[in-house]
Structure 1
Amino acid sequence: MDRRSFLAAAGVAAVGAGVGTSTLQRGFRTIGVPRDADSIQAGVDAASPGDLVLVDAGTYDENVVVSTPGVTLRGVDRNAVVLDGDFDPGNGVDVAADGVAVENLTVRRFQGTGVYWHGVAGFRGSYLTAYNNGYYGIYATGSSDGRFEYSYASGHPDAGFYLGRHRPYDATVANVVAEHNAVGYSGTSTGGRLTVRDSIFRHNRTGVLPNTLDTTDPPQRASRFVGNVVSENDDEDAPALRYVAPTFGMGVVLWGASDNVVADNRVDGHPNFGIVADHNVVAPSGNEVRNNVVRGSGEADLALGAPAGEGNRFAGNQFATSAPSGLRADASDGSRRVAAVFERQAVAQGDPAPGGDWRDQPEPDPKPTMRDPGAPPRIADRATSWGDDGENGDGEPGGGTE
């Protein structure tokens, strides 16, 4: 079923004022777990497009697969509804259908990914906690028209939040927190209308990493990173896969990335680079780095590696050091010294993969839960948020949600 068909099946209607936040699904059923179905999977299997599967408090030892479009899977309490993988194989929630929202629950200790959308049009993860899973935390690939918001991810050997391998992505990541991961946010080969904003990326091995990793997919390009706090990403005890070793101790890394905007962020406390663009598969080009406050970097606050492409621009930033030293006035050439730091880090981090075990990373404190978990579901797309109108939002613009 394509996106237009499932929206029609769900019977959506826009009511009231505001963009996206008032788009409710009507004519839906609420399927209670365990009231109406004895497992989450049974509840999801019984749902039709537009239905709400509402899960009661408890710990659920199951892998959930969602294959019906337009379904909302929601817990009654983010901290009390827990999918626990007990370190067994598989993903926590695996979504292969358009327009599915997963909300207000915790997913932990799966060998795979916490919550995973793949090959879909329309997705949303709201008020989620994902921790100590063996791959990614909250993840979408080959997808479009989606949103991650008011969520938390920690203890993953790849990215806490990941959007990858699609163009255009038409996605927003807003008011999230990522810590103790290999990477806070990663976007591999993403492009077009993708914004990461008002979030916190701290105490990961690497903070924010839009990247190109190979020639299989087009190079990464055209994302926006605005209003975030990126702080002290040098956690040697965080788990990691080998490929991210060169970027350890860096805040925002445009790694083979082009035509991105990095603006109005606060980036501090990194032993290598605060904000850096460097060659990886392709040279970085056309990136605009402006109006950021970057402090306390060991190698340089702002940096551009060699070889560099054309059109990179660094303007209006508050910083103390840069490489090359004249970067603010002239970003036409990068510095070989910058590339050497990436090479040095790849060696210094060693082989096999560095860091701690994802199974025993710190357990997070309780996080804000949805105020009205029984509310009608909202269509899963980029624009539709639980927070922007303040109705159910517990996030803090400009600083994520604790």
Structure 2
Amino acid sequence: MTKRHITYLACTTALLGALVGTAPASAAHRFHVVRPGESIQKAVNAARPGDTVLVLAGTYHESITVRTPRLTLRGVGDRTVITPVRKTAPKKTAPGTRKASVSCLESGNGICVVGGKDKALPDVTVADLRVTGFSTTGLWSMGTDHLTVQRVTADDNGQWGIAQEHSTRGVFRGNTARGNGDAGLFLANNVKAEEGAMNSNGAVIEWNRLTNNRIGITVRRLRNLAVTGNYLTGNCAGVFVVGDENKPKAGALTVSGNRVERNNKYCAKTARLPYLQGSGIVLTGTEKTLVTQNVVTGHSGKSPLSGGIVLFKSFVGVTSERNRITGNRLENNSPADLVNQEAAKSGNAFDHNSCRASKPAGLC
């Protein structure tokens, strides 16, 4: 056995010892260790509520679905890599046969955390691993309560890096999302249905690093959450808070303490939005959103959404109302540091911002 193998085994043993040592003896929670060549899904299926599935360093070609409450799925950092199944010939389905549901793999997702239709899946944690190369989403969740996703790297996925819908009290902390086709981190009420904004009951998006995605962070049709202390650069747009004509309106949330720099990548228009380039923080169709203590610098573009902090009507023409933009530092954003495309009667307030240029004039 080489010195490298001895060191690796010693580190793994120490990690297991540390993890076990932190659990009360009375908890009787079990650890399921997955090694390269073994199935993560098999270990997840065998786990009981409160157990931990520890995935050692290696590359695992599979998709994983979690439906067990209070389960922890943990790797050992970016050396634990989850990537799509190697391509094989598709299985034939008998004529007239319909599948009961589409699996995580068939949906093009890497990790799926899924609750019941009428009962949220509580207290699942996914941490310390990398999920990459999936056609849709690296990590997708729906119907959860207090899901924690931390120190996960989600890169080069076709749509979203990390995404959640129809869930409450999610915590997304210390993750890295880069090179994803749409948002690096995406939270919404419901992706497919047109309905009013959902109360997230205090979801938290903090200390994440979002680079080279279409949009760094998208919050769509949600209320009561915080986007705090994130670093966003090299995207087409940094932060998007999106609402529409449904009630209650999106908003009643906080975007604070983020560093938003040079999000000048070009992205073509879609059915909902014009092309994107040079957008720092954008509010569209929202109300009562507080944008404060952010540093927004170096954005440049000629899109209707370009600028440092931008208020813009939603794609269906709904106004942004009673939002407060205060105490931000803005520099070198074009066409302006602050852009307000709403009428004065919309009640949006701009005060105590450090900036040089605004549209219309007088907001700095």
Q: Report the TM range for the smaller structure's normalisation.
A: 0.7 to 0.9
% identity of equivalent residues: 32
AA of the residue aligned to 2:199 = P
CA distance in 2, matches of 1:315, 1:23: 49
Q: Is the 8 A contact 2:320 2:342 kept in 1?
A: no
CA-to-aligned-CA distance 1:277-305 (integer Å, 9 cap, x gap):
11113100111111101111111100111
Aligned to 1:255: 284
Larger radius of gyration: 2
Q: TM-score, normalised by structure 1?
A: 0.71
TM-superposed deviation, 1:86: 6.0
Q: Residues 35 and 57 of structure 2 are in contact (CA less than 8 Å); yes or no, is this contact kept in structure 1?
A: no
Residue 135 (structure 2) pairs with residue 150 (structure 1) = no
Out of 145, 161, 167, the residue aligned to residue 121 of structure 1 is: 145
The alpha carbon displacement at 1:227 in A equals 0.7
| Inter-CA distance 128–48: structure 2 relative to 1 (3 Å threshold) | same
Choose which of 200, 218, 221 in structure 2 pairs with 1:189.
221
CA contact (8 A) 2:313 2:319 kept: yes
> Whole-Å Cα distance in 2 between the matches of residues 102 and 315 of structure 1?
40
Matched residue, 1:136: 160
Q: Alpha-carbon deviation of 1:217?
A: 6.6
Q: Which residue identity is paired with 1:208?
A: V
| Structure 2 CA distance for aligned equivalents of residues 244 and 87 of structure 1 | 35
Change beyond 3 A, Cα 1:87–1:289: farther
1:92 is aligned to: 110
User: Size of the alignment, in residue pairs?
Assistant: 302
The CA deviation at 1:241 is 5.6
CA distance in 1, matches of 2:238, 2:32: 39
Contact 1:128 1:151 in 2 (8 A): yes
Amino acid at match of 1:305: Q
Contact 2:297/2:332 (8 A) holds in 1: yes
Q: Are residues 110 and 290 of structure 1, via their aligned partners in 2, closer, same or farther at CA, if it must alter by over 3 Å? A: same
**265-274 or 302-311, which moves further after superposition?**
302-311
- Whether the 8 Å contact between 1:122 and 1:145 is mirrored in structure 2 is yes
Unaligned runs of 5+ in 1: 1-21, 329-402
What CA RMSD, in Å, does the superposition of the two structures yield over aligned residues? 2.3
Q: Secondary structure at the match of 1:45?
A: helix
Question: Matched residue of 1:235: which SS?
Answer: coil
Letter in 2 for 1:201: L
The 1:64/1:217 distance shift into structure 2, 3 A limit, reads farther
Match of 1:266? 295
**Paired residues of 2:269 and 2:275 also in contact (CA < 8 A):** no
TM superposition score normalised by structure 2: 0.78
Query: Do the aligned partners of residues 293 and 86 (structure 1) sit closer, same or farther apart at CA in structure 2, a change above 3 Å counting?
Result: farther
CA distances 1:218-260 after superposition (whole Å, capped 9, x unpaired): 4311111111100111113x79865444443110000111111
Cα 1:310–1:242 shift into 2, 3 Å = closer
Q: Counterpart in 1 of 2:339? A: 303
Contact 1:279 1:307 survives alignment (8 Å): no
Q: Distance in 2 between matches of 1:131 and 1:221?
A: 28
CA separation of 1:172/1:248 partners in 2, compared to 1, >3 Å: closer, same or farther? same
> Shift in Å at residue 27 of structure 1?
3.0
CA shift for structure 1 position 26: 3.5
Measured after TM superposition, the shift of residue 311 of structure 1 is 2.3
Q: For the residues of structure 2 that align with 1:155 and 1:224, how far apart are their CA atoms?
A: 26
> Hey, what does 2:90 align to over in structure 1?
none
Supply the distance in 1 between the matched residues of 2:171 and 2:353 (Cα, whole angstroms): 29
What amino acid sits opposite 1:313 in the alignment?
A
Give the Cα–Cα distance (whole angstroms) in 1 for the partners of residues 86 and 296 of structure 2.
Answer: 34
The amino acid across from 1:306 in the alignment is E
CA separation in 2, counterparts of 1:107 and 1:217? Answer: 35
Offset of residue 147 of structure 1: 0.4
- Alpha-carbon deviation of 1:216? 5.7
Q: Once the 2 structures are TM-superposed, how far is the Cα of residue 306 of structure 1 from its aligned partner?
A: 3.1
Q: 1:308 to 1:56 in 2, by over 3 A?
A: farther
Is the partner of 2:43 in helix, strand or coil?
helix
Task: Classify 1:188/1:308 alpha carbon distance in 2 versus 1 (closer, same or farther; 3 Å).
Answer: farther
Distance in structure 1 (CA, Å) of the matches to 2:239 and 2:29: 38
Does residue 80 in structure 1 map to residue 79 in structure 2?
Answer: yes
Partner of 1:361: none
Cα distance in 1, alignment partners of residues 183 and 32 from structure 2: 32
Contact 1:269 1:295 in 2 (8 A): yes
Q: Which residue of 2 aligns with 1:345?
A: none
Q: Which AA in structure 1 matches 2:124?
A: V
Q: Is 1:284 aligned to 2:325, yes or no?
A: no
Distance in 1 separating the partners of 2:30 and 2:333: 53
After superposition, the Cα gap between the structure-2 partners of 1:156 and 1:245, relative to the gap in structure 1 and judged at 3 Å, is farther
Counterpart residue identity of residue 27, structure 1? A
Runs of 4+ in 1 over 2 A off after TM superposition: 22-27, 86-89, 214-219, 238-248, 306-311
Within 5 Å, which residues of 2 pair with 1:353-392? none
In structure 2, list runs of 5 or more residues that go unmatched.
Answer: 1-21, 88-105, 115-120, 190-196, 301-305
